[in-house]
Amino acid sequence: MTSHNKTTEPFWWGLFSVGGVVAAFLVPIHLILNGLAIPLGWISVSPASMAALVRHPLVKIYLFVLIALPLYHWAHRFRFILEDLGLHGMRTPLAILCYGAAIVGTVLTIWVLLSL
């Protein structure tokens, strides 16, 4: 029997990986759609049809995956960026800060999606 309790790194790396896949596949098209196409009027959407779209339970699940998972991708990468830029010896506080922020973001995402 092997001990895996030594470190939780594999868990966060797993989340980082999944978040990275989600971000790689989905973020560019949404940047184009939500960030450029709709504001610039290439595609016209009324608030009513937008609201109707996001109220669909499958769409809510999709939005949760889209928003919450890449936050863990960011948290893991950002934590290592800070370490690579010289903040050594602060592993635990940095981890709490970064993963904590991702967890807060996840909770907020769930809250917003439930209130739609």
Partner 1 sequence: MMVNGTPKLTCSAFLRDYHPGPIRVEPLANFPVVRDLAVALDDFMEKLLRVKPWLIRTVEKPLAEGEYRQTPAQLEQFKQFSMCINCMLCYAACPVYGLAPAFVGPAAIALAYRYNLDSRDEGYRLREPVLSDAVGVWECTFVGECSVVCPKGVDPAAAIQRSKVAGAKDWFTSVLMPWGGRK
Partner 2 sequence: MSAPRSERAGLYYPKLPNTWWLKNPRYFRFMIREVTSVFIAIFLVVLLVELYQLSRGPDAYAAFADRLRSPGWILFHLVALAFALYHSVTWFNLTGVVQVVRVGERQVPPALVVAGAFAAWGAVSLAILLLFLMRA
- Tokens, residue 32: 């184009």
Site residues for partner 1, 1-20, by CB under 8 A, read 2-4, 6-7, 9-11, 13-14, 17
Q: How far apart (Å, rounded) are the C-alpha atoms in residues 67 and 69?
A: 6
3-state DSSP call for residue 34? helix
Q: With binding defined as CB under 8 A, does residue 93 bind partner 1?
A: no
* Cα(114)–Cα(74) distance, integer angstroms: 24
Residue nearer to partner 1 on the CB measure, 14 or 35: 14
Q: 87 near 78, Cβ under 8 Å? A: no
Compose the 88-107 pattern: x for residues touching partner 2 by CB under 8 A, - for all others: xxxx-------------x--
Comparing CA positions, the residue from 64, 54, 77 lying closest to residue 26 is 64
The footprint of partner 2 (CB under 8 A) covers: 20-21, 23-36, 38-40, 43, 45, 47-51, 53-54, 63, 66-67, 70-71, 73-74, 77-78, 80-81, 83-86, 88-91, 105, 108-109, 112-113, 115-116
